[in-house]
Amino acid sequence: MTTLETGTVVGAGLDRVDAPLKVTGSAHYPNDFSFPAMAHAALVGSTIAAGRIRGIDVTRALAAPGVLAVITHLNAPKLERGPMTLLGGSPPAPLQDDRVLHYGQHIGIVVAESAEQARHAARLVRVEYEPAEALLDVNDPRAEIVENPWGLDTERGDVTAGFARADVVVEETYTTPDNTNNPLGLMSTVAYWHGDALTVHDSTQWPHNVRASLATIFKVPESGVRVLAPFVGGGFGAGLRVWSHVILTVLAAREVGRPVKLVLSRPEMFTSVGHRPNSVQQIKIGATRGGDLVAIEHHGISSVAMEDDDYEPVSFGSAVSYACPNVLTRDRQARLNIPCPGSMRAPAEGQGSFALESAIDEVAHAVGMDPLEIRLRNYAEENPVLGLPWSSKALRECYLEGAERFGWSRRTPEPGSMRDGRWLVGYGLAGVSYPFYQVPCQARASVRHDGSAYVRSAATDIGTGTYTVMTQLAAELLGLDVARVRFDLGDSDMPYAPQAGGSGLTGALGNAVHAACRRLVREFLDVVRDDAESPLHGAAPDDVTVTDGRIHRIGNPAQGETYTEILTRHGLEELSADGRSTPPQAEELGMALSGAFGAKFVEVRLDPELGLLRVARVVSAIDGGRILNEKTATSQIIGGTVGGISQAMFEETATDQGTGRIANATFGDYLMPVSADVPDMEVLFIGGPDRATAVGTKGVGEIGLVGLAAAIGNAVFHATGRRIRSLPITIDQLM
């Protein structure tokens, strides 16, 4: 592995290269695509949560103006279920029988000349149900309990013996509600067929997964399926799986023999594209009087949909966070009649860290220790599950520098002891990590005759800055100005890329771009190897570097020539090279692969008479490995922090326990923070490139959210002496 050496391009806070396209309306999102003779679709959703469809009458819908087709389970073809993949498995194929498994389940699709006509006709479909009793509560003892399907439960040491040694034991239950991702861009699909070939514009975070899934589901060759997603209006995990509405749009297009467009409505977004499943977490922590953790036991139960296989290891963070000799973590799922959950920004850690980091705070209080001190005292110097050194970990520095910046030392320990006029003031913190995730990825790089570069991979940019950071990386590696580099993505005909998810894309793709660009420079050297006219002939890759589009010998800049000169003399239009990244292996490297770490410091202000809670300040000290772009990375942490404030104080998807209907499925009813709820935030990046990969990033997409809810809860405790163990923290809990 050759580690990336950087000059001035990588790391700089370059403005987004795609910003001009976005602000001028030239960036085309999936629902911006229209085609001649395109028809429009609307979905029919079930109005019960469990049972059977006794009959569907589509007569009036079919007779409505402009209607081309109505597809239900009565006339739908048999569809295969898509393949199971990590983070992106397909839920069961739609319209395969008369069963209803959740409220809002797609039980029909109407195709018409216009979207309005389709929506109108969808309302004319009459459905007669045979309802059954729905299981909707994660605590329902009748719910089937699913064992951990990923084998991620952990056990080390002897927790019983550990608790026997403890001077203090904290044992509490923490709960987190359903949250719904809701990217601003309504998820949309436009599909058209030509024979067995299929083209799909889709709001996906993973074009290759859509391609592979649709090929399986419709039994057509994968090579004939093309999925395009050059711009996506946000994701937060909602675009990881191949959802029913995508499959139905493709089916509708085949049925009517025309291009078909479907745009989900906001209420449909709440039942169709996943959500963060709720959790009930029992956590028990034992400590000595001196603040040494001696045992941790964490049991999580999350909800999952019927016949679905989504999974989040909610308790796993408790196994890796602290140097505690006796730890047991267990996750189970309760099968309910709910829409399929899916990853939502910081899946698993988002829920688990609320329980763990709140409970650590409770232990600190019980033993009379500063919450920062107890975390430093039990700092995991090595990965406690693997017993290996971390590939990088600057969490200690995050704690110390974050505390310094925040002014943690001003905190007086007693709850309720800090005031500012009528406001109670509270300081809280959390220390967190997000697991390393990297999967294979490919990229292709070309340098053209005019000396410009073109680099591409079938990845997506869900607003995170992928276009920008990959342009910077390629520019650095090819020795070109960023203006001479074009990075392209969002097309399944490009080299394979994994999902923009799990905070893993920048690493996977960055290492693939690194490999492709380095190989491309070697290709140029190969071309001139025996070329007596070239000042570079016979040069080895390690002998050269590239500056301003000119390859030259290290230490002798005069001895070199430009890409253009080489291509011209050899009569070549361009040279290309493929690169791939493969995930590093902990065992081979003898180190534990590190994801990002972060220390979050929060100040809250609370009006004790009104129960008003305000987040006044947040300092996030983040070890994200190499930061490719200071500005976009900071934006990721800020966005994640807003998501964390939202999780802590606002978001709760409310399911009506009588019907299974989502009761707040609009932006008017589903609470989120507005600007006035969000304070100034400081972001510090600490630590350097991770040593497990060439590029050394660790992913910053999710770490910004993790632990924020605990830090806010801990600050509320410090302000009031009241411990809130159920999210979101609402006024009624504070009065």
Neighbours of 170 (CB within 10 A): 20
Residues in the chain: 735
Comparison of 236 and 270: residue with beta carbon closer to ligand MOS: 236
Per DSSP, the chain holds a count of helices (H) and strands (E) of 18, 30
The yes or no reply on residue 340 touching ligand MOS (CB under 6 A) is no
Please state the φ and ψ torsions of residue 458, each to the nearest 5 degrees: -80, 40
Comparison of 72 and 433: residue with beta carbon closer to ligand MOS: 433
Beta-bridge mates of residue 217: none
Catalytic residue among 297, 651, 682, 702: 702
The yes or no reply on residue 300 touching ligand MOS (CB under 6 A) is no
C-alpha dihedral, 75 to 270 to 315 to 89, nearest 10°: 30
Q: Is 80 a catalytic residue?
A: no
The yes or no reply on residue 350 touching ligand MOS (CB under 6 A) is no
Q: Which stretch binds ligand MOS (CB under 6 A): 27-35, 342-350, 675-683, 708-716?
A: 342-350
Comparison of 218 and 437: residue with beta carbon closer to ligand MOS: 437
Comparison of 235 and 687: residue with beta carbon closer to ligand MOS: 235
Q: Which stretch binds ligand MOS (CB under 6 A): 139-147, 317-325, 337-345, 381-389?
A: 337-345
- As measured in angstroms, the least distance from the Cβ of 226 to ligand MOS is 23
Q: Which stretch binds ligand MOS (CB under 6 A): 223-231, 343-351, 369-377, 521-529?
A: 343-351
The Cα 679–Cα 603 span in angstroms is 10
Burial class (CB in 10 A: 0-12, 13-18, 19+), 128: exposed
Q: Give how many residues touch ligand MOS by CB under 6 A.
A: 12
Whether 334 and 113 have beta carbons less than 8 Å apart is answered as: no
Helix (H) or strand (E) holding 684: strand 681-685
The yes or no reply on residue 185 touching ligand MOS (CB under 6 A) is no
- As measured in angstroms, the least distance from the Cβ of 277 to ligand MOS is 12
Among 82, 347, 560, 640, binds ligand MOS (CB under 6 A): 347
Whether 475 and 482 have beta carbons less than 8 Å apart is answered as: yes
Comparison of 428 and 639: residue with beta carbon closer to ligand MOS: 639
- As measured in angstroms, the least distance from the Cβ of 643 to ligand MOS is 10
Among 106, 201, 245, 345, binds ligand MOS (CB under 6 A): 345
Cis geometry, peptide bond prior to residue 65 (ω within 30 degrees of 0): no
Comparison of 502 and 696: residue with beta carbon closer to ligand MOS: 502
Cα end-to-end distance, the chain, whole Å: 58
Residue in the shown chain whose Cβ atom is closest to ligand MOS: 237
Whether 326 and 356 have beta carbons less than 8 Å apart is answered as: no
Residues 684-713 that bind ligand MOS (CB under 6 A): none
- As measured in angstroms, the least distance from the Cβ of 87 to ligand MOS is 6
3-state class of 144 per DSSP? coil
For the chain, what is the largest distance between any 2 Cα atoms, rounded to a whole number of angstroms?
A: 85
Q: Which stretch binds ligand MOS (CB under 6 A): 153-161, 338-346, 562-570, 639-647?
A: 338-346
- As measured in angstroms, the least distance from the Cβ of 285 to ligand MOS is 28
The Cα 29–Cα 19 span in angstroms is 14
Residues 68-97 that bind ligand MOS (CB under 6 A): 87
The yes or no reply on residue 475 touching ligand MOS (CB under 6 A) is no
Comparison of 451 and 598: residue with beta carbon closer to ligand MOS: 598
Cα 505 → chain centroid? 10
Closest CA to 186 of 43, 72, 285: 43
Dihedral of alpha carbons 84, 85, 91, 94, sign: negative
Comparison of 347 and 510: residue with beta carbon closer to ligand MOS: 347
Comparison of 100 and 469: residue with beta carbon closer to ligand MOS: 469
Which x/- pattern, by CB under 6 A, does the window 480-509 give for ligand MOS? Answer: ---------------------xx-------
Contacts for 207 with CB less than 8 Å, ≥ 6 apart: 227, 228, 229, 458, 460, 490, 491, 492, 497
User: What's the token pair of residue 150?
Assistant: 């990923």
Q: What is the 3-state secondary structure (H, E, C) of 631-676?
A: HHHHHHHHHHHHHHHHHHHCCCCCECCCCCCECCCCCCCCCCCCHH
- As measured in angstroms, the least distance from the Cβ of 347 to ligand MOS is 5
Which x/- pattern, by CB under 6 A, does the window 204-243 give for ligand MOS? Answer: -x-----------------------------xxx--x---
The yes or no reply on residue 274 touching ligand MOS (CB under 6 A) is no
Cα 711 → chain centroid? 21
Dihedral of alpha carbons 719, 724, 728, 729, sign: negative
Residues near ligand MOS (CB under 6 A): 87, 205, 235-237, 240, 343-345, 347, 501-502
Q: Which residues are catalytic?
A: 702
